[in-house]
Amino acid sequence: MVVGGMPQYGTFLLPIKTVSEANQVAWRQKSNRTKTARATVSKVLGKHLRTLADFSEAYHAGKVLKITFTRLGGKRLDSCNVSVSMKATEDAVALMLGADDGSPYWNSTFHQDTEYEKVGVLVVIKILD
């Protein structure tokens, strides 16, 4: 949705399989999942650079971005593992926006919907006034 020439939110579906990283011990597999998440975010969001530039400009102008990450499909994770399972995805989205995910202008929340038929991560970015 675009209001006054600038999008107020963007929705992106990323075909990324997430797992509970807290229960994984093999560092090489985790590294491969992180690499895959970064490549997928780049490939999918790279097609929307103009829209992402608007969000990036808002962030760097001091507006707060609310980013909602929803893990879709798969086996239900306990609440403390949901955010950890999408950390690589969050980092890659922040990188695409030139943002710091530890900044007070970056407000991220994490959810899951195991009823979804396909596995992935739904990312919704909103500019808060």
Q: What is the pLDDT of residues 85-125, one digit of tens each?
A: 999 999 999 999 999 999 999 999 999 999 988 899 999 99
**Tokens found for residue 73:** 């499909």
Q: For the domain that residue 57 is a member of, what is the CATH number?
A: 3.30.1330
Name the pairing type of β-strands 106-113 and 64-72.
parallel
Burial of 108 (0-12, 13-18, 19+ CB in 10 A): middle
| pLDDT of 1 above 70 | no
What pLDDT does residue 121 have? 97
Helix, strand, coil share of the chain (percent; to 5):
45, 30, 30
pTM of the entire predicted model: 0.89
| Number of domains the chain contains | 1
pLDDT band at 21 (very low <50, low <70, confident <90, very high): confident
Q: Which two tokens stand for residue 49?
A: 């650079």
Structural domain containing residue 64: 2-128
Quick one: what percent of the chain has pLDDT higher than 90?
71
